[in-house]
Structure 1
Amino acid sequence: MTIVRRWLDRILRALCIVLFAALVLLVVWQVFTRLVLGQPSAWSEEAARYTFVWASMIGIAIAVGEKADVVMDFLVEKLPRTAQRVVDILAYLTVLAFAAYVMVYGGIKQAALAWQQTNPLLPFTQGQLYLALPISGALLIFYLVLHIAHALSRGYAGREGFHEDPEAATA
């Protein structure tokens, strides 16, 4: 499973870099056509919007996979390791339920409803563009299952906490 995760991490990071580079190019093109040519490009604004959504959704999956998402765990750190394990698993299960129901199930329904709806500016249907939600939801579920498996394993060390260096904060 570690090899699969490592490959998935690499692919998602590369995809996010490509999407972000495309976003920068699309926005630069939009600014150039608007300010220099005096005729704004309609398709580049729409493409930038969807590129931003896709990059954000993939980025969320990467952040959850690396446990770099926003967590307020100052209370959890004070609990004994067994209670920390329970709280972690409950938190992961809650996010997993949200990802499964809202992102995957709801995203598939929304994409299916809009699958035949053409986009007047891009060569994709709206349903194809909406696939960002169920795909990122499935990626989230994958990473959350790995986190739950780790929390249930003997190697679970609990939360050690991040203690900021006061001198570095004032520098």
Structure 2
Amino acid sequence: MEAIKKVLDKVLSTICVVLFGALVILVTWQVFTRLVLNDPSAISEELAKYCFVWLVLFGAAFVFGENGHMRIEFIQDALPVKLKMGTQIFIELSIIVFSALVLLSGGLTITKLAWTQMSAALQIPVGYLYAAMPISGLFIIFYCVYNIYIISKTKKPLEIVD
């Protein structure tokens, strides 16, 4: 399980770096064509939108893998170790339920609905845009299961990344 996490971390970080670089290039090109050439590029605008959505969702999954997502720590820090572990497991289970219902199930539904709709500039199915939801949902669920595994294995609460 730890080997899968390391590979997934590497893949997600690489994807995020590539998407961020592409986003910077696309937005720079969009600004250049709009302000200098007076002829905005519709293709770069739509590609930037796709890159941004995928970057946000995959970046969120990556942050879950690093255990660096936002949380209110002062309550959890005041708890005894066993209760802290139980709280962390409850939080991970809550995130699994949310990810399964909203990102995975809802994402699959909206992706199916949008698959027949074509994007204006790129003329590709809009479903590609929404496909990031169920994929990132799977990644988040994996990371939550992994965190529960680590808590159970080490019998210690997870270390919080600041």
What runs of 5+ residues in structure 1 fail to find an aligned partner? 164-171
Report the residue type matching 1:125 in the other structure. Answer: P
Q: Does 1:131 align with 2:131?
A: yes
Which residue type is aligned with residue 115 of structure 1? W
State the TM-score, normalizing by the size of structure 2.
0.94
Cα 1:162–1:99 change in 2 (3 A) is closer
SS in 1 for 2:37: coil
Question: Quick one: distance in 2 between partners of 1:25 and 1:132?
Answer: 21
The answer to whether the 8 A contact 2:53-2:129 is kept is: no
Change beyond 3 A, Cα 1:87–1:134: same
**Structure 2 vs 1, CA of residues 120 and 161 (structure 1 numbering), >3 Å: closer, same or farther?**
closer
d(CA) in 1 for partners of 2:88, 2:18:
33
Looking at secondary structure, tell me which structure has more helix per residue. 2
Q: Counterparts of 1:3-42 in structure 2 under 5 Å? A: 3-42=3-42
Q: Number of residue pairs matched?
A: 162
Task: Kindly report structure 1 stretches of 4+ aligned residues shifted beyond 3 Å.
Answer: 159-163
For 1:117 and 1:162, locate their aligned partners in 2 and report how far apart those are by CA, in whole Å: 41
Residues 80-131 of structure 1, C-alpha deviations (whole Å, 9 max, x = no match)? 1110111111111111100000000000000001111111211420112110
Instruction: Answer whether contact 1:77 1:161 (CA < 8 A) is retained.
Output: no
Note if contact 2:151-2:158 (Cα within 8 Å) is conserved in structure 1. no
**Radius of gyration: which is bigger?**
1
Q: Distance in 1 between matches of 2:122 and 2:161?
A: 45
Matches within 5 A, 1:13-162: 13-153=13-153, 155-158=154-157
Give the stretch that moved more between structures: 4-13 or 16-25: 4-13
Quote how far apart the aligned CAs of 1:159 are: 5.9
The runs of 5 or more residues in structure 2 that have no matched partner are none
TM-score (norm 1): 0.90
Moved more, 16-25 or 41-50: 41-50
Contact 1:107 1:133 in 2 (8 A): yes
Partners in 2 of 1:160 and 1:19 — Cα distance? 29
Q: Are 1:114 and 1:126, in contact at CA under 8 Å, matched by a contact in 2?
A: yes
List per-residue Cα deviations over 1:1-34 (Å, max 9, x = no partner). 2111111111110110000000001001000100
Higher relative contact order (CA 8 A, sep 6+): 2
